């Protein structure tokens, strides 16, 4: 596991551990607690949207790096590799857009 994956996994675990603790450790009336919970939920959705963008950028970067390396090793199949790279990048981008739309709808509702 590389350094970026370890940092991302650590941040995700900390968010999962400490976010519920801050939601449930609140004082006040039910209305205040509900408003604070909704605010915390929206903050977590924003963090999720950021993680989606980071993950998509990392994935497309890996696709591009691997395809350029493959083209350098076998220039005669560069057109086939380019087509596969564009298809894979489009699939990653589509999944990221879907996840961002889900995050946006969760934030607005």
Mind listing the pLDDT tens digit for each residue in 44-100? 888 888 888 889 999 999 999 999 999 999 999 999 999 999 999 999 999 999 988
The CA distance from 18 to 84, in Å, is: 41
pLDDT at 30 > cutoff 60: no
Mean pLDDT within 15-42: 62
Which residue would you say has higher pLDDT here, 102 or 80? 80
100, 53 Cβ separation under 8 angstroms:
yes
Find, among 50, 21, 22, the residue nearest to 36 by Cα. Answer: 22
Which domains are assigned to the chain? 44-109 (1.20.20.10)
pTM, to two decimals: 0.63
The CA distance from 100 to 31, in Å, is: 29
Token duo for residue 26: 């609140």
pLDDT at 105 > cutoff 60: yes
């Amino acid at each position: 596991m590389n350094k970026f994956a370890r940092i991302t996994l650590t941040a995700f675990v900390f968010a999962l551990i400490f976010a519920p603790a801050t939601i449930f450790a609140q004082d006040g009336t039910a209305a205040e607690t509900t408003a604070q919970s909704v605010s915390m939920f929206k903050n977590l959705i924003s963090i999720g949207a950021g993680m989606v963008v980071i993950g998509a950028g990392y994935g497309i970067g890996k696709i591009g790096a691997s395809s350029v390396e493959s083209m350098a090793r076998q220039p005669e199949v560069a057109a086939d590799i380019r087509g596969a790279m564009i298809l894979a990048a489009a699939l990653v981008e589509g999944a990221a857009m879907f996840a961002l739309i889900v995050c946006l709808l969760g934030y607005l509702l």
